[in-house]
Structure 1
Amino acid sequence: MRSWTNVLLAAALLFTTPLAVRAANALEPPPGLSSRIDAIRHRGVLRVAVLSEFPWLIKNPSVNAAPFRGPAWRLAEEYAHRLGVSIETTPVTSDDKVSILASGAVDLSIAPLLVTPEREAVVDMIPYSASAHCVFGLADNPKVAAAARLDDLDQSAVTIGFIVGTPQGAWLQKRLVRAARDGIPGNLTDLATGEILAHRADVVPIDKFFFRMLQRKVPGLASVPKDCLASQELPVSIAMAVDKGQPAFLDWLRAVADSIKPEVDAEMARTVQAGP
């Protein structure tokens, strides 16, 4: 005679197994779950678009090391490991790091991507990191030198420079409403550094990690706040991307990213500490 314990156990398995199977499939996807994953396994290669950008993805100069380092590469290595394949890299530029996905030339773009509504409309994104912004200007500019925080720049005597139509430009205009404005044309990846050097603007916005590199290339710059890396102004998500229409592949990529988040965060911290 079947015991009530066995009946209840069978009922519990009936309702919990699909969830457990989906979770397991996300980390160890079986054949047939995703045509993209099946194709990657069949060819034995995960094809990724790459663009070196500190601190998320940095090209290694040594031929004896992995071709890249940083949290994006750590995550790409995990994807390849779980699928039992190698990684094939395709260099891209700021202009085609998203559009290459529609061509089918790569499976995944690990070029660091700022998450924006415009990008989310054309690709599916896998967030794995974050950043924030500060502003910078000439260190010998009295307005910049006197400013300890962003609020100190919210005055009519200050001119803010920005790229028209970018999230950074929109944020800065709302953040410093009293400041005079110097908007110039460009795209999402451009910096209005020329406005600073030409003395047309006092400060312009920049990703807090990019400022460290720019400061090395262009002497005489200073940030507000003084420690740009500590800024939490305009926080943004950084992501990888895949072409739309691949829900099972997307779910698996996001599940793996979630499962090794502490490792990805640790790699980010090491990369920032080591520098470009």
Structure 2
Amino acid sequence: MNFRKQLSAIFVVSFLVLVLMVTGCSNPAPNQNDSEPKNQPAAEDSWDRIKQEGKFVVGLDDAFAPFGFRNDKNELVGFDIDLGEALAERLGVEIEWQPAEWSGVVASLKTGKFDAIWSGMSITPEREAEVNFTTPYIGSAQVIVVLTDNNDIKGKEDLAGKVVGTQLGSTGEVACNKLEGLKDLKTYDIYTEALNDLKTGRLNAVVTDDVTARYYFQQQPGTFKILDDILSYEPMGIAVRKEDTTLLEVLNQEIESMIEDGTYKTVSETWFGEDMSQFLDD
């Protein structure tokens, strides 16, 4: 009986081995081309879709005054908002503003959450590696802000051993990371939180762009001051995906037209009291 069981087991195993060998032999040899990348469909250019749908979706930080922020009625207002609305009207489309977390705004653009980023965004080599920018529509500098009565901090060298704040994911954070000897660098979702902490003494200084800083100075006159040290000069542009070349061309053309016909000047004087295009490089 045991012998019969052993014989049966040997037969079953031999049969399975034979089946596997036959199956393996019947499979076609792998195609050498399978390992090669397949042709991908042509990248979409969003401008055709925007024209068809009649809607231009734009990502922004909606707490970044004076570029885009909420007023007392929770309405979205600002320099970028007025300029964007004017541009959309010229193109014959509706603009839809979509608030986004700034630290992930580039990733959201690349995954198609919106068509562009228009939010006082500084043009940097790191960002240019991931997205394309329009020609600059406004320029700014990263500066150091302290309380008006602070006479201990006169320049960036005096920030050693100090607590400094800036916005998370901003070029202000990049500038802060180059400062030596900071006691601590605190990052915030919005600049107003950093300035509030500066005002209450939780921070010794805040690094932000001078355009934003001067706007807040108007809201709280006599509270803050800007030091003479400029950490970096950074023109700002509208960001689009790398493949959206036609959209980029259209935006560049309209920005140039708005500067030439005075539309830009009218919007700029509303928010800054002067025509900011005069500070752009030719």
Is TM > 0.5 for Structure 1 vs Structure 2?
yes
Residue 59 of structure 2 corresponds to residue 49 of structure 1: yes
Residue 167 of structure 2 corresponds to residue 169 of structure 1: no
What TM-score results when the alignment is normalised by the length of structure 1? 0.61
Q: State the number of aligned residues.
A: 221
Residue 207 of structure 2 corresponds to residue 205 of structure 1: yes
**SS of the counterpart of 1:76?**
helix
- Aligned-partner Cα distance in 1 for 2:83–2:150: 42
What TM-score results when the alignment is normalised by the length of structure 2? 0.60
Q: How does 1:1-276 map to 2 (within 5 A)?
A: 35-52=45-62, 53-59=64-70, 68-126=76-134, 127-144=136-153, 147=154, 150=155, 154=157, 159=162, 161=164, 166-169=173-176, 181-184=182-185, 186=187, 202-212=204-214, 221-225=223-227, 234-261=232-259, 262-273=262-273
Q: Per-residue displacement from partner, 1:41-86 (whole Å, max 9, x unpaired)? A: 21121122232322222445559xxx54433223322442233222
Structure 1: gaps (5+ residues) = 1-33, 174-179
Q: Per-residue displacement from partner, 1:62-118 (whole Å, max 9, x unpaired)? A: 59xxx5443322332244223322222222121333222122232222233122222
RMSD: 4.0
Structure label with greater radius of gyration:
2
Is contact 1:166-1:187 (8 Å) kept?
no
Structure 2: gaps (5+ residues) = 1-43, 275-282
- Aligned-partner Cα distance in 2 for 1:268–1:232: 23
Q: Which structure's relative contact order is higher, taking Cα pairs within 8 Å and 6+ residues apart?
A: 1
**Superposition deviation, residue 269 in structure 1:** 3.0
CA change 1:233–1:41 in 2 (3 A) is same
Q: Per-residue displacement from partner, 1:113-161 (whole Å, max 9, x unpaired)? A: 12222211111112311112332334444424xx5xx4xx756988574
- Aligned-partner Cα distance in 1 for 2:165–2:84: 33
Give 1:27's aligned residue: none
